[in-house]
Structure 1
Amino acid sequence: MMRTRLPTLAACAALLLATVPAHADDVLALDRDGGRLLVIDHATFRLRHTVDVGTGVHEVIASADGRRAWVASYGSAQVVGHELVEVDLADGRVVRRVDTAPLLRPHGLARAGDNVYFTAELNRVLARFNPAEGRVDRIYGIGGDLAHMLELVPGGQQLLTADMLSGTVSRLDFRAGQPAPKLTSYRVGDKPEGLAVRPDGREAWVGLNGEGTVKVLDLESGEIVATLPAGSYPARIEFSRDGSLAFVVDPEASTLLVFDVATRTQRHAHRIAGLPLGMLPGARADRIVLSLVEAGAVVEVDVETGEVLRRVEVGQLSDGIALAETAAAGR
C-alpha cells in the first residue's frame, strides 16, 4: 500500500503565511493640534500606530509600496512650518525630517513615481522632494497665490494646484519632456480649495468656497463645462474608485454631498456630525472614509444612507487623510 507523507504543521504554517498578505491597507490620519500621525488598519478599523510628527501637520501621503508616509508640517498661526516628515509605517517611527526652508508652509501633497511634490504656500511655488537623494531637487514657480491643494492627473505627467487667493487652477504639464513644464492658469472663481481629478483624467472638479459651487474643468479644452450647486463651503472633493460618483464635503454645514458624475446631478446630501473634511474611498464601493475636524475622529460612512458604520478617535482637529496600499507589497 502506498503511503502519502503528510506535510508538517510548520510547513502548513509557512505555506499559509506565504499566501496571505502580511497586512491590509492602512488609513493614515492626522491629529493636527496634537502633532500625531495615526495608522489605522483599513480592514478592521483598529489603530496600529501613533507617531509623534510635530504640530501643525495638515496633509499626508504614502509611498507607492505603502511602506512610508510623508507628512506636511504646515505650522500654526504663530509658527510658520517648513518640514516634510518621513515615517516608516511598518514600525511606526519617524525616519527623517526634511527642512524645506526657505520654502514655507508646505501643504498639498502628490506623489509621481517615487518623488513627492508639495505646494509651498508662502512662496507661490511647487517643489519636488527626491527621497532617494534626501533633498528638494526641483522648484517650479506657479504664480498662483496661496496654492493649497495639489492633485496628480492620471498618467503622472501633469499636476494641478488650487490657488485660493488668485481664483485659479494652475497646471504644470511635463508631457513635452522639456526640463521646465508648461504652465497654464485657468480662472475658475472665488476661493478655489477642493480639487479632484476624475480617474479617467478628463476633468478636474474644483470646489469654490466663495461661491458654494463646484466647477467642472475640462482638461483637454481648458473650459468650464458645468457649474454645480454644492452647499456653502465645498472644501474637499473625492471620486469613487470607478469614477461614477463624486463626493463633496461642506464642513460649514457638516454635510457630505454625493454626485452622479455622468449626469452631474446630486444624489444625496448626508448630515455628518463633527465637521467632515478629509476623504478617501472606502474598502467597498458603497463606503467612504472621512476625517471629522471638530470631533477629532475618522469614520467610515455608507454612501447611500449616510450612516456612520465605524469610527476611530484620533485626537484634536483631524485633517488630511490618505491610503497606504500595502496588501500588494506584502509588508
Structure 2
Amino acid sequence: MPARDSQDATRRRSVGRLRAILAAAAVAASTAAAPAGAATPVPPQQDDATDRAYVANATARTVSFLDTDDRTVTHTVSVPSGAADVGVSRRMHRAYVPGGHDSRTVSVIDTNRARVVGHIRVGDRPEGVAVSRDGRRAYVTNADSGTVSVIDTAGNRVVRTVRVGTFPKGLAVSPDGGRVYVANLLSGSVSVIDARRGRVVATVELGTGTAAYDVAVSPDGTLAYVSTGNGTEYVSVLDTRAATVLDSVPVEAGAESLAVAPDGSEVYVSSGFGNEEVSVIDTEMGTVARSFRVPGGAEGLALGYEGRQMYVATGLGSRSAVYVDTETDRVMGSTTVGSGPMSVAVEAEPEPVAPRAGTGRRVHWQTGQKQSGTR
C-alpha cells in the first residue's frame, strides 16, 4: 500500500474508533432518565488536606460528590443538559459541567450547597473543561464549533470565544494561568492560547493521520503531554516554550486521559474505552515503566492531595470510581456512582512538590531542542 494510503487508513481507524466512542456516549446519554429530585442537601464539609472528588456520569446525567476518606457518595446532583466532563474552582466553590453531545450548555454547580445554580451558553457540543489554578477562569472546548469558550467564574459568563482546530476535546491550563493547551481531535494538532490576550499564538502539528485526545502540563509548565493515535497510540511530549514536539512515547494499552505527578516524574495514561489499564510513563527515561489494571475500565483520571492517591472513572457501561495508591499502584477500593462515569476532578488540586531524589526529569527531555524519535 502506498505511504499516503497507509497514513489515511490509520487515521480513519483512529478517528473511527473515537467516533464510535462518542456515538456510544451520546446514545447512552440520550436514553438515560433524569433522576428524581432530592431533598435539600446539607452543605458538604471538607478538611484542606482531604480530597473531595467529583465524578461526571455521562449516561446518568449526574455528578457524584465523593468523600474520599470513607469512600462514599455524599451527594448526587442531576444535570439534565448532560455531564461530559467536570472541572472545579475551589476559589469560587463551583463545579463546571459541559453538556456534551446535543448541548450548548455548561451547568454550574455550587459545591457547598450541592445544587445547580446556573447555566452558561457556550458553543455546540461542549466536551472538555479546565479551570485555572487560581479559579478565576474556566475554559470549555466546543467540539462541533471548533472553539474554546472562556468563562469568568466570578460572573459565570463567557468573556471570550477563541477559534481553534477541528473537534477540540481535551485541554489544560498552564500552572501560571498564562497558556491554555487544546487537543484538536480531528485536525491532529494542539492549539496554544495566550490566556491574557485571548488568542491562539501557536499551533503544534502532531503528524499526518494523528488524532489528539487529551493534554496535561508538567508542574513547571515547560512540557505538555498529549495523548494521540495514528494506528499506534502514544503520548507526544511538547516543548511549551518552543511549541515543538520533542518526542513520542508508544503506549500499547491505549492512550486517552492523562494526569501528571506533582513532582513531574511520572505521567499516568488511561487506556480508555473498553480497556482496564493505566500506563505509567517515567519522564526521566521517556518510556512506559509499568502499568496496572483498574477493574471495570480506565477512562478519566485525577490525582489527589500531594499525588498520593489517584481516582479513576471507569467509563461507559460501568458505575464505579476506583481509588489507587500511587506509591504501590494498588487498587484500594471503589465507590458506586452514576452510570457511565467518564471524568473525575478533585477540588484539592495537587500542588507542585520538589522532585523525587534521582528522577532527573530534565535529563531526557531538554526543552529548546528536538530529540530523536520526534515525529
Same fold (TM over 0.5): yes
How far does residue 296 in structure 1 lie from its aligned partner after superposition?
A: 1.7
| Partner residue in 2 for 1:259 | 281
SS class of match (2:144): helix
Q: 1:44 aligned to 50, 70, 89, which one? A: 70
Alignment of 1:115-154 (within 5 A): 115-142=137-164, 144-154=165-175
Q: Answer yes or no: is 1:208 the counterpart of 2:228.
A: yes
CA distance in 1, matches of 2:92, 2:155: 19
AA in 1 matched with 2:326: V
| Cα deviation code 1:272-304 (max 9, x no counterpart) | 221211111134644311110132210111335
Alignment of 1:175-190 (within 5 A): 179-189=197-207, 190=210
Q: Answer yes or no: is 1:99 the counterpart of 2:121.
A: yes
CA contact (8 A) 1:66 1:325 kept: no
| Cα deviation code 1:87-114 (max 9, x no counterpart) | 11122111112232xx111122122341
Identity of aligned residues (%): 24
| Partner residue in 2 for 1:155 | 176
AA in 1 matched with 2:76: T
Instruction: Pick the structure with greater CA Rg.
Output: 1
AA in 1 matched with 2:348: E
The structure where helix makes up a greater share of residues is: 2
Q: Which runs of 5+ in 1 are unaligned?
A: 1-19, 327-331
How far does residue 253 in structure 1 lie from its aligned partner after superposition?
A: 3.3
TM-score norm. by structure 2 comes to 0.74
CA contact (8 A) 1:298 1:313 kept: yes
CA distance in 2, matches of 1:39, 1:321: 10
| Cα deviation code 1:194-245 (max 9, x no counterpart) | 2111111111111113331111111122222121111253011111122111
SS class of match (2:90): coil
Give the root-mean-square deviation of aligned CA atoms: 2.2
Q: Residues 66 and 230 from structure 1, CA distance in 2 versus in 1: closer, same or farther, beyond 3 angstroms?
A: farther
AA in 1 matched with 2:140: F
| Partner residue in 2 for 1:3 | none
The structure where strand makes up a greater share of residues is: 1
SS class of match (1:166): coil
Q: Residues 184 and 90 from structure 1, CA distance in 2 versus in 1: closer, same or farther, beyond 3 angstroms?
A: same
TM-score norm. by structure 1 comes to 0.84
Q: Residues 27 and 66 from structure 1, CA distance in 2 versus in 1: closer, same or farther, beyond 3 angstroms?
A: farther
SS class of match (1:74): coil
Q: Residues 23 and 52 from structure 1, CA distance in 2 versus in 1: closer, same or farther, beyond 3 angstroms?
A: farther
Q: Answer yes or no: is 1:111 the counterpart of 2:105.
A: no
Q: Which runs of 5+ in 2 are unaligned?
A: 1-45, 350-375
Q: 1:276 aligned to 298, 301, 306, which one? A: 298
AA in 2 matched with 1:262: E
CA contact (8 A) 2:304 2:346 kept: no
CA distance in 2, matches of 1:22, 1:212: 37
How far does residue 305 in structure 1 lie from its aligned partner after superposition?
A: 4.5
Aligned residues: 298
CA distance in 2, matches of 1:145, 1:58: 18
| Partner residue in 2 for 1:8 | none
